């Protein structure tokens, strides 16, 4: 018997499966309110597949238009929208969520956990993702789909050159999608670090889990810069700020930097999960451990790390100068080394193995070959002189598709065939699967290999047609035929999936003779994943259990005194996501809708936070690291915030002295007044830490006193900021006036927004305390609020010095 949100005193449960009540309403409600990582994984997978089909149709229309010279299937404007939506959809709404589907379904199973660290946050990230995807596609209904490319280069995106709401849809939906990715990333980092089964050290984790961990770190580090870039663009378009206004001294390269600081790690966010999948599939079907597994892990980490030092190779044609070009060229070439290491280790895993040529193995091997081709052309782009010839040609289109289809998509299909039986309890048809592989493989190479030639012949990308005299017609026709081959391959998968769900052969718990923990439980797994949390003996622990040297079986982990706790369903994630999506959509409708959506989101967050406040199962969430999940999550979030404020501050510094009209900083900044507000904020940190000490020792009077004092100090700081803002406006400094105004108000305004959020959080804790619901056992809740508050304080320490004090 499984408990949903209630305590059990009995030992571990048997393998019972809860029997759902009949009726579509109950079924729909159970999916909408689910917090089960497996169901959320399925939701991600199905949603991603639908968006993948939409992006695929867009690609087919592009290829139809380009199949012949001077073709008129679509207009130039429609073509712009098609390639913009195709790129945005495939990156953010198809490949990323496909990977998220695997993270969600498999990571808890592979590390021997019952769920993720924060199941309701997991549901929230899915529903926010769906809201972002729907908002982006609502642009079609509004008749204004985004049309400035998936990279949205400034100033194509400025109000002057894109006056309709098309770019607004793009900006808002990407920010919503970014919020979803950030929430999921924090969740998975904490899950992987803190929820591992006994004995599962970091180096014993499966490769897929390792690559998931690296990807989540890339997300929390790479998304903030582009979020800041999008915020600047939003302020330019909605409020008349000057971030990307050349006439006001703005630098268009700023957008390119912010976008590619995100954009290049994003490539690894898309490819590393596929590399993780291949690293699981190959050992299973070669009957051998992964060759040099630690080196493959380190290579994945190095790829992620170097991924942050190569972004400007996308900007060689922008004129950064020889030193910057040389630095980014070298960094890009270096990143090929760990990538090459992985490829050789995969080949060595196959070498001498007892190969079982399943469909999953076909896709995994196909991924290695095709990704290698894409990687080799990538190294060519690392050389600035070569890159200058290839920039904005079809050669680059071929390269990126070899990486993202040949690499990511083939890897994801390998994963789909490998884990389908685990997820559905049924096998896919292997014969049809191999047909699909060969059709997809042939179609893909037919579609994209000729594009290398087209690029070398000088065909620019993003042109909607071309004259016959160019000689590009034949290879374009071949490429278009190949694109329809890809579509046929995807159709075969769809047929296979539907047939399997209807009448596929039942799958055993371990149909492939697997090596990792997910194969240790039934197919599909029970709601609680494992009847008893397994103990891990080493890497490939399940294989060791089955075939390893005989050893005394270790005692299973002692049963939880509270029994098995399975988180109960919750409606608040979907309500909160509705508020977030509504607020974003409201920006295109009316400010009242923004306010309404925002209030709904805030209400949802409060109900979300208080839903299980009194539940004993939520008192102690200490995990593998000996740290509470919530504390680890807050530190992870703060790490991400470092990037957000780092980018805001760097932009302020980059634009210092570039304003072409006044008022200038020396005209308006008042150090004495700001010193008082700085002192006030520093003292609030003291009160905060005193509040924590008070709650820990159960002193309720002092807890109230210090919490109220901290919130009051925060309000005083906000009062100073309001006074400063209004006095600046009276002196002629506005958001629209000059670059100083834009950067100053956005930087300090975002800090003020954080202070406001902190005050609300403190007041909520104070209300809990006044109602007698904040006890010593809840000290962790005060501690994480305190961490946030202190972080806001240290950000101000930096702002005070760089903005106010440095001349």
Partner 1 sequence: MSEPGQGTVGTYVMVAIVLTLITALEVGVIYIRQLAPIIVPLLLVMAAAKFALVALFFMHLRYDGRVLSSLFVGPLVVAVGLAVALMTLTGAFLVFDR
What would the two tokens of residue 272 be? Answer: 């590393």
Please select the residue that binds partner 1; options are 32, 57, 73, 324, rule is CB under 8 A.
324
Residue closer to partner 1, measured from CB, 118 or 449: 118
794 lies in the site for partner 1, by CB under 8 A: yes
Region binding partner 1 by CB under 8 A among candidate stretches 146-154, 475-483, 588-596, 654-662: 654-662
Say whether residue 155 binds partner 1 (CB under 8 A): no
Alpha-carbon distance of 357 to 449, in angstroms, equals 26
Among 31, 344, 606, 635, interactor with partner 1 by CB under 8 A: 635
Q: Is the distance from CB of 533 to CB of 112 less than 8 angstroms? A: yes
Nearer to partner 1, 331 or 370 (CB): 331
| Region near partner 1 per CB under 8 A, out of 99-107, 220-228, 385-393, 504-512 | 220-228
**Position 739 contacts partner 1 (CB under 8 A):** no
Q: Is 381 helix (H, G, I), strand (E, B) or coil?
A: helix
Phi, psi of 233, deg, nearest 5: -65, -40
| Stretch in the footprint of partner 1 (CB under 8 A) among 374-382, 498-506, 535-543, 675-683 | 675-683
Note whether 459 binds partner 1 by CB under 8 A.
Answer: no
**Stretches 438-446, 574-582, 596-604, 646-654: which one binds partner 1 (CB under 8 A)?**
646-654
Judged by CB under 8 A, how many residues of this single chain contact partner 1? 68
Quote the CA–CA distance of 559 and 419 in Å, as a whole number.
29
Q: Does 273 bind partner 1 (CB under 8 A)?
A: no
Nearer to partner 1 by Cβ, of 441 and 645: the residue is 645
Using CB under 8 A as the binding rule, whether residue 384 contacts partner 1 is answered as: no
Closer Cβ to partner 1, 212 or 312, answer by number: 312
| CB-based burial, 648-677: b 16+ in 10 Å, e otherwise | bbbbbeebbeebeebbebeebbeeeebeeb
Question: Does 225 engage in binding with partner 1 (CB under 8 A)?
Answer: yes
Stretch that binds partner 1, among 4-12, 269-277, 315-323, 517-525 (CB under 8 A): 315-323
Rg for the chain, CA atoms, rounded: 27
Six-digit token pair at 212? 């998931």
Name the residues annotated as catalytic. 86, 115, 150, 180-181, 264, 266, 268, 279, 313-314, 339, 342, 461
Of 772-791, binders to partner 1 (CB under 8 A) are 779, 786-787, 790-791
CA separation for the pair 778, 389 (Å, rounded) = 61
d(CA 184, CA 118): 9
Q: Is 418 in the site for partner 1 (CB under 8 A)?
A: no
The answer for residues whose C-beta is within 8 angstroms of residue 23's C-beta and 6 or more apart is: none
Tokens representing 238?
A: 């909605």
- Considering Cα of 186, then 184, then 372, then 59, what sign does the dihedral take? negative
Name the one range near partner 1 by CB under 8 A: 122-130, 577-585, 588-596, 629-637.
629-637
Smallest distance from the beta carbon of 672 to partner 1, in angstroms? Answer: 8
How far are the Cα atoms of 118, 356, 357, 514 from residue 287, in angstroms, in the given order?
35, 8, 12, 9
Is residue 185 a contact point for partner 1 (CB under 8 A)?
no
Contact call for residue 386 and partner 1 (CB under 8 A): no
Residue 302 binds partner 1 (CB under 8 A): no
The CB-of-683 to partner 1 minimum distance in angstroms stands at 7
And the tokens for 607? 């109900």
* Residue 308 binding partner 1, by CB under 8 A: yes
Encode burial over 793-806: b for 16+ CB neighbours within 10 A, e otherwise: bebbeebbeebbee
Helix (H) or strand (E) holding 592: helix 591-610
Beta strand residue intervals within 425-523, DSSP E: none
Tell me if 703 sits within 8 A of 695, measured CB to CB: yes
Long-range Cβ pairs for the range 70-74 (8 Å, 24+): 70/465, 70/466, 70/467, 70/468, 71/465, 72/465, 74/464
Give the integer Cα–Cα distance in Å for 211 and 413: 17
Choice from 626, 666, 771, 772 touching partner 1 (CB under 8 A): 626
The one among 679, 727, 731, 773 contacting partner 1 by CB under 8 A: 679
Min. distance of Cβ 643 from partner 1 in angstroms?
5
Residue 793 within binding range of partner 1, rule CB under 8 A: yes
- Is there binding between residue 243 and partner 1 (CB under 8 A)? no
Is the link from the previous residue into 524 a cis peptide, with omega within 30 of 0?
Answer: yes
Query: Does residue 649 bind partner 1 (CB under 8 A)?
Result: yes
Pick between residue 236 and residue 545 the one whose CB is nearest to partner 1: 236
Min. distance of Cβ 609 from partner 1 in angstroms? 21
Determine, following the binding rule CB under 8 A, whether residue 675 of this chain makes contact with partner 1.
yes
Collapsing DSSP to helix, strand or coil, 11 comes out as coil
- For residues 714 and 758, the answer to whether their CB atoms sit within 8 Å is yes
Positive/negative CA dihedral, 658, 659, 662, 665: negative
Query: DSSP state, 403?
Result: I
Q: Does 191 bind partner 1 (CB under 8 A)?
A: no
The reply on whether position 627 binds partner 1 by CB under 8 A is yes
In degrees and rounded to multiples of 5, residue 706 shows phi and psi of -75, -35
DSSP 467: -
Q: Does 252 bind partner 1 (CB under 8 A)?
A: no
Rounded Cα distance, 614 and 773, in Å: 8
727 binds partner 1 (CB under 8 A): no
Place of tokens 């991400």: 640
654 binds partner 1 (CB under 8 A): yes
Figure out which of the listed residues 199, 289, 340, 639 binds partner 1, where binding follows CB under 8 A.
639
Q: Which is nearer to partner 1, 234 or 643 (CB)?
A: 643
Q: 364 or 779, CB closer to partner 1?
A: 779
User: What sign does the dihedral 209-211-214-215 (CA atoms) show?
Assistant: negative
What is the spatial distance between Cα 629 and Cα 607, in angstroms, rounded to a whole number?
20
Q: Taking the complex as a whole, how short is the minimal distance between the CB of residue 149 and partner 1, in angstroms?
A: 22
Using rule CB under 8 A, residue 181 touches partner 1: no
Q: How far is the CB of 361 from partner 1 (least distance, A)?
A: 36
723 lies in the binding site for partner 1 (CB under 8 A) = no
Q: Which CB atom, from 430 or from 699, has the smaller least distance to partner 1?
A: 699
Kindly list the residues in this chain that would bind partner 1 in the complex (CB under 8 A): 189, 193, 220-221, 225, 251, 253-254, 257, 261, 308, 312, 320-321, 323-324, 625-627, 631-632, 635-636, 638-640, 642-643, 645-647, 649-651, 653-656, 671-672, 675, 678-679, 682-683, 685-686, 688-690, 693, 696-697, 779, 786-787, 790-791, 793-794, 797-798, 800-802, 805-807
């Amino acid at each position: 018997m499984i408990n949903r949100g209630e305590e059990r005193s009995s030992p571990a449960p048997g393998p019972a499966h809860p029997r759902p009540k009949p009726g579509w309403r109950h079924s729909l409600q159970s999916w909408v309110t689910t917090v089960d990582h497996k169901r959320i994984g399925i939701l991600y997978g199905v949603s991603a597949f639908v968006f993948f089909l939409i992006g695929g149709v867009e690609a087919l229309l592009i290829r139809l238009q380009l199949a012949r010279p001077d073709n008129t299937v679509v207009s130039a404007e429609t073509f712009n929208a098609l390639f913009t939506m195709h790129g945005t959809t495939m990156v953010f709404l198809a490949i990323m969520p496909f990977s998220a589907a695997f993270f969600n379904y498999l990571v808890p199973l592979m590390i021997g956990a019952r769920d993720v660290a924060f199941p309701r946050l997991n549901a929230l990230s899915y529903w926010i993702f769906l809201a972002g995807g729907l908002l982006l596609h609502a642009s079609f209904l509004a008749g204004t789909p985004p049309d400035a490319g998936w990279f949205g280069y400034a100033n194509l995106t400025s109000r002057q050159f894109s006056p309709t709401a098309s770019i607004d849809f793009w900006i808002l939906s990407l920010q919503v999608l970014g919020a979803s990715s950030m929430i999921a990333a924090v969740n998975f980092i904490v899950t992987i670090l803190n929820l591992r089964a006994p004995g599962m050290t970091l180096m014993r984790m499966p490769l897929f889990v390792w690559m998931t961990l690296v990807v989540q770190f890339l997300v929390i580090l790479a998304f903030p810069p582009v979020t800041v870039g999008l915020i600047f663009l939003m302020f330019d378009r909605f409020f008349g700020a000057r971030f990307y206004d050349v006439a006001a001294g703005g630098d268009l390269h700023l957008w390119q930097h912010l976008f590619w600081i995100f954009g290049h790690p994003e490539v690894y966010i898309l490819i590393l999960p596929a590399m993780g999948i291949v690293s699981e599939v190959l050992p299973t079907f070669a009957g051998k451990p992964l060759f040099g597994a630690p080196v493959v892990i380190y290579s994945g980490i190095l790829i992620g790390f170097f991924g942050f030092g190569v972004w400007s190779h996308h900007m060689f044609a922008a004129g950064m100068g020889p030193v910057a070009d040389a630095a980014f060229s070298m960094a890009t070439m270096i990143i090929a080394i760990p990538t090459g290491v992985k490829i050789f280790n995969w080949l060595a895993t196959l070498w001498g193995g007892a190969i079982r040529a399943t469909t999953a193995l076909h896709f995994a091997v196909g991924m290695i070959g095709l990704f290698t081709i894409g990687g080799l052309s990538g190294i060519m782009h690392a050389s600035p002189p070569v890159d200058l010839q290839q920039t904005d040609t079809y050669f680059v289109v071929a390269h990126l598709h070899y990486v993202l289809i040949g690499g990511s998509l083939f890897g994801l299909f390998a994963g789909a065939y490998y884990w389908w039986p685990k997820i559905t309890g049924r096998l896919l048809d292997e014969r049809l699967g191999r047909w699909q592989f060969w059709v997809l493989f042939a179609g893909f190479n037919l579609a994209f290999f000729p594009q290398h030639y087209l690029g070398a012949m000088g065909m620019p990308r993003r042109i909607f047609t071309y004259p016959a005299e160019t000689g590009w017609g034949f290879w374009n026709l071949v490429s278009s035929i190949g694109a329809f081959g890809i579509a046929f391959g995807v159709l075969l998968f769809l047929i296979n999936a539907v047939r399997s769900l209807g009448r596929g052969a039942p799958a055993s718990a371990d149909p492939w003779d697997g090596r990792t923990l997910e194969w240790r439980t039934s197919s599909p797994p029970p709601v609680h994943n494992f009847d008893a949390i397994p103990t891990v003996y080493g890497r490939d622990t399940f294989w060791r259990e089955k075939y390893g040297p005989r050893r005394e079986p270790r005692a299973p982990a002692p049963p939880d005194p509270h029994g098995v706790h399975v988180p109960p369903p919750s409606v608040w994630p979907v309500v909160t996501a509705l508020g977030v999506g509504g607020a974003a959509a409201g920006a295109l409708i009316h400010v009242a809708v923004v306010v309404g959506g925002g209030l709904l989101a805030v209400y949802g967050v409060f109900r979300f936070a208080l839903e299980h406040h009194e539940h004993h199962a939520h008192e102690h969430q200490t995990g593998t690291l000996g740290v509470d999940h919530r504390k680890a999550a807050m530190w992870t979030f703060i790490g991400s915030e470092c990037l957000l404020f780092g980018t805001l501050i760097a932009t302020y510094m980059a634009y210092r002295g570039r304003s072409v009209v006044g008022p200038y900083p020396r005209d308006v900044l008042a150090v004495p007044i700001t010193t008082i507000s700085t002192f006030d904020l520093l003292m609030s940190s003291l009160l905060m830490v005193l509040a924590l000490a008070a709650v820990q020792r159960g002193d309720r009077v002092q807890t109230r006193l210090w919490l109220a004092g901290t919130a009051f100090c925060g309000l005083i700081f906000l009062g100073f900021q309001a006074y400063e803002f209004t006095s600046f406006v009276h002196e002629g400094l506005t958001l629209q006036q000059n670059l100083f105004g834009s950067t100053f108000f956005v930087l300090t305004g975002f800090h003020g927004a954080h202070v406001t959020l902190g005050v609300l959080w403190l007041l909520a804790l104070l209300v809990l305390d006044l109602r007698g619901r904040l006890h010593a056992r809840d000290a962790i809740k005060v501690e994480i609020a305190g961490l946030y508050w202190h972080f806001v304080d240290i950000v101000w320490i930096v702002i005070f010095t760089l903005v106010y004090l440095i001349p």
